Chains A and B, each alone.
Chain A
């Protein structure tokens, strides 16, 4: 009941994300994201753990337009150790609005069960203007849960969009249980970031 309610609420209020962008072989992921710049909903399927293909519906709050992107994400590098995993992903998306509307970028992360550090860079090409986005995020898990427990992350995120040319830094809290992950961030400049992932 609880999870269904959260999914329903998020489906109503939100729409894109940059969380972990590739699932296990044969896995599907639904990702929803909302912040001051856009709402998005993104579904992707991973034929192998090396890449995913998906479709993203974006409601752009800055340009006041909607568009759909066909997206491809490729795992360029992964390093597994006993206690950590490091990833580098390359991503691109082609808009159904035309050949002049597309994006490309990279993001990476390193995490243990206790610590997380991630970054992202994205260049967006549009017919009227090009812009870029970048973020850095780091976090700590205040306790170590076992498989199936509720996991909690306390994080700091800083992001910049070249359209408003200003870094915004704010705390983020992330809850993670079973197949669902939800993340909330807030600051007084950009207000709420809401990020939800459901993997199946």
Chain B
């Protein structure tokens, strides 16, 4: 029992320390990452786009004449949640590409430029997986 206690203590300490070091790494990565001209630096409707820069840049590479819905989602804590969301959106023929940024709690969905993006429809799709979409930002590519 003592061994289990020590085991838990060590791993929880390590996890907390690792959280802090990740925070520092994220900040330092952002400082060293060149933001010049990157779309993730853009203000959308007056709000800064909060996404993982590398993930976002990778997501939009190769996309042309498109718009990306960056959807904030609550309750997306594991790959199973993300997988369900991905599968649901993949069934929608209007969707060109989808990815999930677990770290920031965002779902990235790319549509053609002419498509009218309906946030209520997106909310329904997310809710069908048991999570809640709280806001959307749309970026033109």
With an 8 A cutoff between CB atoms, is B90 at the interface?
A: no
With A82-B105, A199-B80 in contact, is A49–B75 under 8 Å at CB? no
Q: In whole Å, how far is A190's beta carbon from the nearest beta carbon of chain B?
A: 15
Residues of A in contact, count (CB < 8 Å): 42
B83-108 residues with Cβ-Cβ distance < 8 A to A are 83-85, 87-88, 99-103, 105
Q: How far is the CA of A127 from the CA of B39 in the complex (A)?
A: 66
With A78-B130, A82-B74, A171-B7 in contact, is A176–B84 under 8 Å at CB? no
A122-157 residues with Cβ-Cβ distance < 8 A to B are 138, 140-144, 146-148, 151, 154, 156
Stretch at the interface among B12-20, B27-35, B60-68, B115-123: B12-20
Q: Which residue of B lies closest to A143 (CB)?
A: B18
With A48-B128, A81-B74 in contact, is A176–B79 under 8 Å at CB? yes
With A24-B87, A147-B99 in contact, is A156–B74 under 8 Å at CB? no
Pick from A82, A85, A156: contact of B4, CB below 8 A: A156
With A144-B22, A176-B79 in contact, is A75–B15 under 8 Å at CB? no
B102 in contact with A147 (CB, 8 Å): yes
Q: Which residue of B lies closest to A177 (CB)?
A: B79
With an 8 A cutoff between CB atoms, is A73 at the interface?
A: no
Q: In whole Å, how far is A117's beta carbon from the nearest beta carbon of chain B?
A: 12
Q: How far is the CA of A33 from the CA of B74 in the complex (A)?
A: 30
Q: In whole Å, how far is A196's beta carbon from the nearest beta carbon of chain B?
A: 14
Is the interface on chain B under 10, 10 to 19, 20 to 34, or 35 or more residues?
35 or more
A84 in contact with B87 (CB, 8 Å): no
A178 in contact with B83 (CB, 8 Å): yes
Pick from A111, A138, A171, A181: contact of B77, CB below 8 A: A111
With an 8 A cutoff between CB atoms, is A188 at the interface?
A: no
Q: How far is the CA of A76 from the CA of B44 in the complex (A)?
A: 37
Q: In whole Å, how far is A118's beta carbon from the nearest beta carbon of chain B?
A: 13
With an 8 A cutoff between CB atoms, is A159 at the interface?
A: no
Q: How far is the CA of A146 from the CA of B102 in the complex (A)?
A: 6
With A25-B128, A156-B8 in contact, is A85–B77 under 8 Å at CB? yes
Q: In whole Å, how far is A43's beta carbon from the nearest beta carbon of chain B?
A: 16
Q: Given A84-B77, A170-B4, list of 13 further CB < 8 A pairs?
A: A24-B87, A24-B130, A25-B88, A25-B129, A49-B128, A80-B132, A82-B72, A84-B75, A85-B75, A141-B15, A144-B22, A151-B78, A156-B4
